[in-house]
Amino acid sequence: MTTTTAPPAVAPPSLRTGNVSRSRKFRDRLATIAMWAAFGAAALPLAFIVFYVVRAGMHLFSYDFLVTNIPIISSKPGPGMAPAVVGTLLITGAATLIAVPLGVMGAIYLNEYGKQSTLAKFIRLMTDVMSGVPSIVMGLFIYTIWVLRYGLSGFAGALALACLMLPIVVRTSEEILRLVPSALREASAALGARTWRTTVRIVLPAALPGIVSGAMLAVARAAGETAPLLFTIGIVSKPNTKLFGSNTALSAQIFRNAQVPFPAAQDRAWAAALTLILLVFLLTIAARLITARFARK
């Protein structure tokens, strides 16, 4: 043996060699197979669902589908989801405009000002609790404080979605802010900048890509939500591009059409599902690309 060899790469010892008894070897094999099976048990249904949504959704999915109004008689075949597409984009967009600035400000408070104070800890606990609140309870909450007074509107749906997004945005933004090296902050402080100036000019630009990707994940989550929209936005069959007044959304339309026994309506539900999944995946992929660029920096 020479003393000059490089240290060997760390690798798990081989299990094939050695005097391992047959039953122990068998049990080890069995456990390994079970782990592979567990992966299969989750991957197979996923493949099934995606396959079905794509196959059944392709029937009706086309440019026409995205720009035609929903037929008023739901047993009538043919395309039409334009109001829902408009509604989903509008409501989710409005929810983003409400939740992201609030959430980022909350995260800035937690990470730059509050740190480990009692109030910051309490807010963190509340955020955790809020992220566990069922989405339908959020819908009921908005119903009681908004809809009862001002009626059904796309804005009420946006409020409900914003409530769901807020804890996600706060949590991810805080994680990202924590990753900004404190040397940057100290350098800024040494040059005489106040905390808010350091935050706005130094910390936020450094954390921006991460915050954007976190926000996009929250948006993807919100776009697919149905329960909080059921009794906050009402229903329309023509596109409503205004924030106020009744509106509809892709997820709400899928829910309605899935419960109707007409094949035509079910076809529309599948195509709407395909639209929604494409939307969510595009957002997720965009978020991932931004995160990847952030990581490379």
Partner 1 sequence: MVLVLIAVTTLNNAWPAFRESGLSFVTSRQWIPNEGKFGALAFIYGTAVIAAIAVLLALPVSVGIALFVTEVAPARLRTMVVAVMDLLAGIPSVVFGLWGILVLAPNIAALYNWWSDLVEPIPLLTKLFDHTQTGRAFFTAGLILALMITPIITTITREVFATVPRNDKDGALALGATRWEMIKGVVFPHSIGGMVGATMLGLGRAMGETIAVALVIGSTPQIVANVFAGGDAMPAVIANQFGEATGVHRSALIGLGVTLFALTIIVNVSARTVVRRVDVRLRGLA
Measured CA to CA, the distance from residue 253 to residue 266 in angstroms comes to 10
**Hey, which residues between 229 and 288 contact partner 1 (CB under 8 A)?**
230-231, 251, 254-255, 258-259, 266, 269-270, 273, 276-277, 280-281, 284
Of the candidates 80, 224, 239, 291, which one interacts with partner 1 according to CB under 8 A?
A: 224
> What distance lies between CA 289 and its chain's CA centroid?
15
Choose one: 45-53, 61-69, 171-179, 187-195; the region binding partner 1 (CB under 8 A). 45-53
Three-class SS state of 14: coil
CA-nearest of 107, 137, 90, 133 to 245 is 90
Of the candidates 1, 6, 42, 73, which one interacts with partner 1 according to CB under 8 A?
A: 42
Give me the numbers of helices (H) and strands (E) for the chain, helices first please.
13, 0
Of the candidates 1, 6, 9, 46, which one interacts with partner 1 according to CB under 8 A?
A: 46
Count of chain residues binding partner 1 (CB under 8 A): 77
167 binds partner 1 (CB under 8 A): yes
Three-class SS state of 69: coil
41 binds partner 1 (CB under 8 A): yes
135 binds partner 1 (CB under 8 A): yes
Output the smallest distance, CB 172 to partner 1, in A: 14
Output the smallest distance, CB 126 to partner 1, in A: 5
Q: Which is nearer to partner 1, 90 or 280 (CB)?
A: 280
Rounded (5°) CA angle 155-161-163: 105
Output the smallest distance, CB 152 to partner 1, in A: 11
Output the smallest distance, CB 59 to partner 1, in A: 13
49 binds partner 1 (CB under 8 A): yes
150 binds partner 1 (CB under 8 A): no
CA-nearest of 88, 100, 135, 94 to 278 is 88
DSSP class of residue 12?
P
Q: Which is nearer to partner 1, 61 or 270 (CB)?
A: 270
Choose one: 70-78, 131-139, 181-189, 193-201; the region binding partner 1 (CB under 8 A). 131-139
Choose one: 1-9, 134-142, 178-186, 196-204; the region binding partner 1 (CB under 8 A). 134-142
Measured CA to CA, the distance from residue 265 to residue 256 in angstroms comes to 9
Residues 6+ apart with CB under 8 A from 250: 81, 84, 85, 87, 88, 223, 272, 275, 276, 279
CA-nearest of 181, 163, 154 to 106 is 163
Residue indicated by tokens 């905390």: 195
Element (H, E) at 216: helix 204-223
Output the smallest distance, CB 182 to partner 1, in A: 20
112 binds partner 1 (CB under 8 A): no
Phi first, then psi, for residue 14 (nearest 5°) are: -65, 140
Measured CA to CA, the distance from residue 220 to residue 96 in angstroms comes to 10
Output the smallest distance, CB 288 to partner 1, in A: 9
Choose one: 63-71, 77-85, 180-188, 224-232; the region binding partner 1 (CB under 8 A). 224-232
Rounded (5°) CA angle 258-264-266: 20
Residue indicated by tokens 């109030």: 119
Choose one: 7-15, 66-74, 174-182, 202-210; the region binding partner 1 (CB under 8 A). 7-15
179 binds partner 1 (CB under 8 A): no
130 binds partner 1 (CB under 8 A): yes
